[in-house]
Amino acid sequence: MIKKEDRIYFEKLFPFWEKLTHQEKNYFIINSRTMTFTKGVDISSSPECFGLTIIKNGKIRVFLTSKEGKELSLFFLETMDIGVLTAQCIYPKLQVSINLHTEEVTEVIVMNPKAFSLMRKRNSEVSDFNMNLIYTRFSEIIEQMETALFVPLSVRLIRYLLKQEKKELIITQEEIARHLGSAREVITRNLKLLQNAGCLQVSRGKIQILSEEKLKTMLD
């Protein structure tokens, strides 16, 4: 059961909340709990079924891993996002193996998967919300896969750097390679080209963006 102050997350994030009966609201509250994961936890390898999850604070990376060990980031779950962790235990027909790692200390609200499944069957508003959530995440995955297949790495790298919305990124080239499904050597080569063009200053574990405008013009 979650604390009284955590119920505001249900009110803010569940569009169906005000349409629930008092009994249904209590059912959600009683069957939910808070959990905290430390940085670097592989949530997807846990034998526990987490189900519907609200991110109170923190960041979870959702990604695919190839047989060769290459990784491709699909999307991130951050503060006030909703996702389904270890989805296979809720949707047994789902055969896609997706990995989830915490990028930082992450606090979540988790609803008991059996209780949520029961609410989906009993309440059409909850069922519609669940389907919209699935469609949204699935669309994000398809979009990312299309980008990885059809957009040149040089363009994806620039988009990634601009998306961070920071002038100084504390990140290794190996980490960028994992996010973009590439090899560190390829990322190093592309970063060097951007540095020679006056867009970046690259040093060990750090990238400083010197000109966002130059980066944007290279996307044209």
Every domain of the chain and the residues it spans: 4-149, 151-217
Q: Phi and psi at residue 74, in whole multiples of 5°?
A: -100, -50
User: 151-217, which class in CATH?
Assistant: mainly alpha
Q: For 109-135, what is the mean pLDDT? A: 92
Burial class (CB in 10 A: 0-12, 13-18, 19+), 83: buried
pLDDT in the model for residue 77 = 94
25: left (phi over 0), alpha (psi -120 to 50) or beta: alpha
Q: For 112-133, what is the mean pLDDT? A: 92
Q: For 4-13, what is the mean pLDDT? A: 94
- Please, which residues have CB within 8 angstroms of residue 122's CB and are 6 or more apart in sequence? none
pLDDT in the model for residue 37 = 95
pLDDT in the model for residue 86 = 60
pLDDT in the model for residue 95 = 57
CB 188 within 8 A of CB 200: no
Q: Report the alpha-carbon distance of residue 191 to residue 157 in Å, rounded.
A: 8
Q: What is the mean pLDDT of the chain?
A: 91
pLDDT in the model for residue 126 = 94
Task: Give per-residue pLDDT as tens, 84-120.
Answer: 776 555 555 555 678 899 999 999 999 998 899 899 9
Structure tokens at 101: 């790692």
- What CATH superfamily classification does 4-149 receive? Jelly Rolls (2.60.120.10)
Quick one: pLDDT band at residue 45, thresholds 50, 70, 90? confident
Examine the pLDDT at 22 and tell me if it is beyond 80. yes
Task: Give per-residue pLDDT as tens, 50-79.
Answer: 778 999 999 999 999 888 888 999 999 999
pLDDT in the model for residue 192 = 96
The pTM assigned to this predicted structure is 0.84
Task: Give per-residue pLDDT as tens, 175-213.
Answer: 999 999 999 999 999 999 999 999 999 999 999 999 999
pLDDT in the model for residue 39 = 95
